[in-house]
Chain A
């Protein structure tokens, strides 16, 4: 799989290149700032991009902006955004084009290499991978009055795992229930959130977005 990598700190960039190459990815270009990221994304159209939020020249959310911008031109271009901290606001902005193929993870997750690579593959296939910390922040808001209010505790838990990008069988294993029970829960979630019938993957993205937007 072809990857474009954006990370300004050489130490982390080299580490990431090593991790990616060790798992069979080809890093077609590794860049260190926002404008060259934007150019590289449009030029290479990679299978997936790994992007640090904070990049030169502004050292603010340059990476995120470049990724959102590139996805506007190449809809659904898979992007995994890495950051030292996570913000629900940014997760929402990344997902709001509803095209899927979005990951948003804390940088520490790279140390669990296998999970990180799994997440990267899920994103490349158009799925989502939200950091458990974003999901935890969302679960904190259970007091709110919104469509999510109608979900049972179990359904909420399942939605949290969908947001992290887990498949039904993975969710089943984590919650010690059968895959069939999981798909019953997911169907209930889609129905309660009033999501239109469409491809299963897309509905999962929409469910997560509803989660973020309320």
Chain B
């Protein structure tokens, strides 16, 4: 009961705001139309561009309103406009964006239907307050002579008639009580139709995102291959070449100078050990063996064990994620832990990982100095890009003075 009461109160507030906002919207619409008509003589273009953010934030306010009414998100439909674009390019982009025109159309619809939605509940509520409280009180306390109002078919001119009219007040209150949510629901549905991105716009956005993330991942894969090639060339390959040379020399010297030959053999053995160490280091950087063996669960446990700072971990991942996602998350966590160990002066690190709602969430917290930032060229920024290829996200929360919290999320199914 109390909750319904609260709900009606906030709904009455929304209705009240809808008495004003649609009118503001209509004014905005006419302003936009004026600037557009001036665009033919160029001055209109900057003026029009000036109105765009106003219209969009006005529409966004209503998007939040509709979200509140329906408990479903209403994403912004606008195509991105590059910050460095010239006014002419921006104008062209905005004109080409369907969402611009849908906004304007919505201003018109809101100016009529929205006004009605604001009007009805407010009138009904005001009427009930008038009939149920104000009239009886006024006639009981002051009994003004010669004052009369019509409530429906009843003329209220003294306390008795005010009492007779009260059932009508109850009817209007009931109408307000039942009708307001329905009316606002209808309004929300209507507004959603205009304010939500069209399936087409959503596809377009998705395609753009995919184009960017694909070129990012192709680029980083190519860079990675180059790095591996270089590492092999300068490391293991060089060591095996020297090993071969030592063996060849040792073979030559075997009869003439067995002592030197044995020294060369010892060197050859050492090169083989070094070459192996080099290869191990390289393999860890490509796909850590523990990850291949045990998946993210074992990989994160191993990272927690190897961290120089004590790590309290709680890892609940009942299954295996796709290999590339496991690797991306593993390296991201490794980077976060390294940062914490190197820069934060933290004394305790918390590591938790779980799978729920179709996504893996990994959270790393430390009690260090804080003040960490995500820069595109920093290690964490690079991992953010890598996670982005899987529609993943990195959230960093690190106020100066700590604590630091990093949340990595990637949507995926476990097998």
Contacts and interface: CB of A to CB of B under 8 A. Distances in A.
Contacts of A111: 269, 272-273
Interface in B264-319: 269, 272-273, 276-277, 280, 283-284, 289-290, 292-294, 298, 301-302, 305-310
A144 B310 contact: yes
Contacts of A106: 276
Contacts of A140: 306, 308
Interface stretch (A7-15, A18-26, A81-89): A81-89
Contacts of A54: 289, 293
Contacts of A112: 269
Given A85-B284, A87-B290, A108 B309 contact: no
Interface string A86-117: 01111010000000000000111001100000
Interface residues of B, number: 24
A155 interface: no
Contacts of B343: none
Interface residues of A, number: 24
Interface in A139-157: 140-146
Nearest to B295: A60
Most chain A C-beta atoms within 10 Å of own C-beta, residue among B290, B294, B305, B309: B305
A131 to B, nearest CB: 12
B276 A108 contact: yes
Contacts of B263: none
Contacts of B301: 89
Given A84-B280, A84-B289, A108-B277, A89 B310 contact: no
Given A112-B269, A140-B308, A145-B310, A60 B294 contact: yes
- Majority SS at the chain B contact face: helix
Nearest to A62: B293
Interface string A46-67: 0000000110000011000000
Interface string B241-277: 0000000000000000000000000000100110011
Interface of A: 53-54, 60-61, 84-85, 87-90, 92, 106-108, 111-112, 137, 140-146
Given A90-B290, A144-B309, 20 more contacts: A54-B289, A54-B293, A60-B293, A61-B293, A84-B276, A84-B280, A85-B283, A85-B284, A85-B289, A87-B290, A87-B302, A88-B305, A89-B290, A89-B301, A89-B302, A107-B276, A108-B276, A137-B306, A140-B308, A144-B310
